[in-house]
A and B are shown apart, each in its own frame.
Chain A
């Protein structure tokens, strides 16, 4: 059974940092692009970043460029999102998602809540 389990969310002050993790199981993690998607409270979905199977390509939404870094450890079947210089507008539930390419993202984790507030 495919599972994606996020962790690392919490309350952080503006300007602070947080590292999210996504533990994958039930599939060959190293064969898939992976992505982070976020959802602010009561709002829609926003893609944040994605990473190629071997980590050689990474892409970000403009609003997080220079502040967030996506990475992965295929040996540990894990995806990460290092978030620095956090702002109030980064407050959201963060989901990791498996990218099936032409067949669309299929599995999503349950999400982890990040709250940026003083």
Chain B
């Protein structure tokens, strides 16, 4: 199975900061990469699919890039509602997820 490695595991940032999270696949997954936001006690929320496509209704401050094995999620200006845990997922069946990145208040 394809392994997904996210970095960093935890990120401390302030409102207004530009934030970047990296996800690396153990083999090429083309662009079959999604990013999710999860808040405590809630289901994951899809932000980005096909590596760089913004899901409907998601604010434009979220963006994704990459292909093959290296991917990034960028939040251009961190907002109070963005403090959460973020997961990458490769969705070439069987799905696998990164271990998560917790974005916390600095």
Chain A residues close to B by CB (< 8 Å): 35, 37, 44-47, 50, 59, 61, 95, 99-100, 102-106, 108-111
Docked complex Cα distance between A59 and B94 (Å): 8
Docked complex Cα distance between A108 and B91 (Å): 15
Question: Which listed residue (B32, B44, B50, B97) contacts A46, Cβ 8 A?
Answer: B97
Docked complex Cα distance between A37 and B95 (Å): 9
Interface size bracket, B side:
20 to 34
Please judge, given known A-B contacts A102-B32, A106-B55, whether A47 and B43 are in contact too, CB under 8 Å: no
Contacts of A108 in B (CB 8 A): 43-44
* Smallest Cβ-Cβ distance to B91: which chain A residue: A104
Question: Which listed residue (A37, A50, A105) contacts B46, Cβ 8 A?
Answer: A105
Please judge, given known A-B contacts A44-B87, A44-B100, whether A103 and B50 are in contact too, CB under 8 Å: yes
